[in-house]
Every structure is written in C-alpha cells, then in structure tokens.
Amino acid sequence: MKQVYMDYAASTPVDSDVIKSMMPYFSKTYGNPSSTHKHGRLALQAVEHARKQVSSCFNVDPETFLFTSGGTEADNLALKGIAFQHLPKDLGKGPHIITSTIEHPAVLQTCKQLEAYGYSIAYLPVDETGLIDLDQLKETITEDTQLISIMYANNEIGTIEPVEKIGNIAHKHNVLFHTDAVQAVGKIPIDLSKLPIDLLSISSHKIYGPKGVGALYHTKDITFDPLFQGGGHEQGKRSGTLNTPGIVGLGKACELSQKRLKKDISQLEQMSDYFIKRLFEIESSTLNGHPTKRLVNNIHFRFKGIEGNALHSLLDEKGISIATGSACSSKKIQASHVLLALGLTPEEAISSIRFTIGRLTTKEEIDYVLPIVKESINHLRSISPLWKSNK
C-alpha cells in the first residue's frame, strides 16, 4: 500500500546528509567531549563546530547556544531556570511569568508545576485565530513579572505570534522574553541579532535532524539556574555528557535548513495553498487558525459532522499519517486545549484534523490524499446522526 506521511510537525525524516555527518561520532570519534585526550578533543571540536552551525543559522555568536535533549528540556530550562533565580516567597503577588493558553505542554505543564511551587502565572487568552492581544499583555505585566514566554508559532494550528512586538513590550518593562521556536525554525527566517528575544528553544527532529537533541539560545548577559546538577558541562548551565552524534546532526540540520530556507518556504507555501484550496471544496469545511499568519506547512481543518479521530483511523488504514491534535496529545480523546482556546465548541474541536507537509511532500501525494479524504468524510457523514440531523 502507498504510504503518505503528512505529520511533519510531529517529526521529520532525518536528512541523508545529516545521517552522514553523524556516523563517525558513534564508533570512530567516540570520545567524551569533556576528556582532554585526543579522542575527547576531536569530539569537542565536532560539538563546537555544530554550535557554530546552529548559531550562524540565527546570526548570533556560538556561546549563546547550549545543547539540550530537545525542545521540552529547552523550554523547561528557560522557564524554571529564570523562575528559580528567585523563590516565590521573595517575589510579589503579581504574575511572575506570563504565557498563553495555547502553548505546547512543555511550557504549559512547566507553568503548572511552577504554580504548584507557589509561583504566580498569567495565561493570556487568544482570539479565534490564535493570536494573543498585545494590549492585554501590556496590562498583565507588573513589577513582579520576571519572564514572558509566548511561542513563535503554534504546533497545532500554525498561528504565528507577533514575537518582535511581544519582545519590545517585554523589554520596555524590563522583563525577559522566551519563545518556543520549535515549529518556527526552517519555516520562518529568524535573525536573533535583530529580534528582542532573550531565550529561544529549538528541537532537531522538527528540522530533519535526529530525535532527542535540541538547544536553548540565551543572550550573553542572562543568568539562569541549571535544571541538572552534575559535572558543570555547557558552562555550568546544563550538566550531562554531551550527545556528540546528536549535536553534530542538529548542527548539520540547522546548516541545511538555513541554506534551503527560501526554497523550502516557497515550495511549502505553494503546496499548502493548493491543499487548502482543494480542502475547501468539501462541504462544511473550515480552516482553523489564522488565514495568513500561519506556518507554511500547516493545514488544520475541521469538517462538520465527523470525528477527527475516526478520520485519522480511516486514513491510517489507507497508509496516510496525519494528526488530530498535537502528536503529544493524540492518544487522549479530549478536545485539544488549543482549539478550545480559540473558542471552538468541544464538538467543533474534535471534528478537526492536522496535515503538516514537508520537504518530501509532492503535489502527487496531495492529489492522492484528497479523494481519499473526501471519500472518508462522506462515509463518516453518512453514518453520523449529528450530520444527518444538521441537514
């Protein structure tokens, strides 16, 4: 059976050049980058080369990036690292961290944990397209606010937040700004030398690199507490033996992503425009998220009278991989917190599905998938009492 992968926001295939770059670091140059002998020095050279590749992708100095085990750790480190600089008892009652209701669980659950420790968190609502309100952000900041954490682009609906404006507001109030750019990298040019961003999280497996590696950008003068205590790696900010092959892979993936950015964006834009246009041919279909301020690879639709999970299963049986919510929550049958935050009813939310396309997606694949999607929706509607009663 033909297999079509349309879940690039969950993970991407590792680029063959990335695999090639990683191979020597498993069993040839396998030394610990912290060791001072030749084996160690060679591994360290590779790590530092990767740091240069990552940082030049964002036009900043290498020492502003530290390596982590992925986007989740980078988010945890940014939020807890800043929060732990002051204990709640030493802070006022205003919000210590301001975030949004549509963040990835790596941010939201970290905030929940910090709340349980006594920190005060403000969760900004979003409008029906997924954008935060900048006036509301300004009004929410108090003298107790240490950090604003708003994602660059949402992983479910693809809405792109106005990060430059958010950063300017944060800095005007002397507040640090963190953004989770896990989904934005490779789809939006990000020049950190020009943007008012203090901390930024990235993940390798969303940009054709290996899983289990990521990085946190931090401006040079910023201080934060480490999450892990140990051997003081990464200038004491992230202890733990460095994952040399993974880091080398992330470096190469960033280099390729930078080189291909224009091409990737225009290719993805063309294909998602076409896909969206064709999906609108289906009766009672609605695009979730923002009509224009959206990631070029995100196609998030709701189809009246169907259940996203049922459509997901039918497509899966036919070899087509998509998502209903975010990958991390796809096993839970509850409406996505992001879709509910847009003001959708639970019924509308569960009738939604997400296609995310990537470098390997072709127009032929889209043309193959479209009639199967249409047929499956027709079938589900034909057995849906909800759809019949609406007719």
**Least distance in Å: CB of 55 to ligand PLP?**
19
Stretch that binds ligand PLP, among 140-148, 161-169, 175-183, 352-360 (CB under 6 A): 175-183
**Least distance in Å: CB of 249 to ligand PLP?**
13
Q: What binding mask, one character per residue, do residues 315-334 give for ligand PLP by CB under 6 A, x or -?
A: ------------xx------
Residues 360 and 14: their CA atoms lie apart, in Å, by 11
Strands 285-287 and 298-303 come out as antiparallel
Among residues 57, 111, 254, 328, which one is catalytic?
A: 328
Burial 190-221 (b: 16+ CB within 10 A, else e): bebeebbbbbbbbbbbbbbbbbbbbbbbbeee
Stretch that binds ligand PLP, among 19-27, 71-79, 190-198, 228-236 (CB under 6 A): 71-79
Q: Do the beta carbons of residue 253 and residue 26 sit within 8 Å?
A: no
**Least distance in Å: CB of 97 to ligand PLP?**
16
Q: What stretches of 96-154 adopt beta strand conformation (E)? A: 97-100, 121-124, 147-149
Q: For residue 22, give the nearest of 250, 259, 360 by alpha carbon.
A: 250
Q: Which position among 108, 182, 314, 380 is part of the footprint of ligand PLP (CB under 6 A)? A: 182
Segment holding 27, helix H or strand E? helix 24-27
Q: Which position among 31, 71, 186, 245 is part of the footprint of ligand PLP (CB under 6 A)? A: 71
Stretch that binds ligand PLP, among 70-78, 226-234, 239-247, 361-369 (CB under 6 A): 70-78
Q: Which is nearer to ligand PLP, 75 or 161 (CB)?
A: 75
Residue 210, interface with ligand PLP (CB under 6 A)? Answer: no
Q: Is 328 a catalytic residue?
A: yes
Q: Which position among 7, 15, 161, 180 is part of the footprint of ligand PLP (CB under 6 A)? A: 180
Q: For residue 58, give the nearest of 223, 261, 208, 211 by alpha carbon.
A: 261
Residue 72, interface with ligand PLP (CB under 6 A)? Answer: yes
Q: Which position among 106, 132, 322, 369 is part of the footprint of ligand PLP (CB under 6 A)? A: 106
How far lies 190's CA from each of 8, 74, 176, in Å? 20, 17, 18
Task: Identify the sign of the CA torsion 214, 217, 221, 225.
Answer: negative
Q: Which is nearer to ligand PLP, 141 or 197 (CB)?
A: 197
Q: Do the beta carbons of residue 244 and residue 251 sit within 8 Å?
A: no
Q: Which is nearer to ligand PLP, 327 or 370 (CB)?
A: 327
Residue 254, interface with ligand PLP (CB under 6 A)? Answer: no
Task: List all residues 6 or more positions away from 209 whose beta carbon is below 8 Å from its beta carbon.
Answer: 12, 14, 15, 18, 249, 250, 252, 253, 254
Q: Which position among 155, 243, 257, 356 is part of the footprint of ligand PLP (CB under 6 A)? A: 155
Q: Which residue is it, tokens 């193959």?
A: 368
Residue 43: HSE in the Cβ half-sphere, 13 Å Cα cutoff: 23
Residue 305, interface with ligand PLP (CB under 6 A)? Answer: no
Residue 214, interface with ligand PLP (CB under 6 A)? Answer: yes
Stretch that binds ligand PLP, among 64-72, 123-131, 253-261, 366-374 (CB under 6 A): 64-72
Residues 186 and 263: their CA atoms lie apart, in Å, by 10
Residues in contact with ligand PLP by CB under 6 A are: 70-72, 75, 104, 106, 151, 155, 180, 182-183, 203, 214, 327-328
Positions annotated as catalytic residues are 328
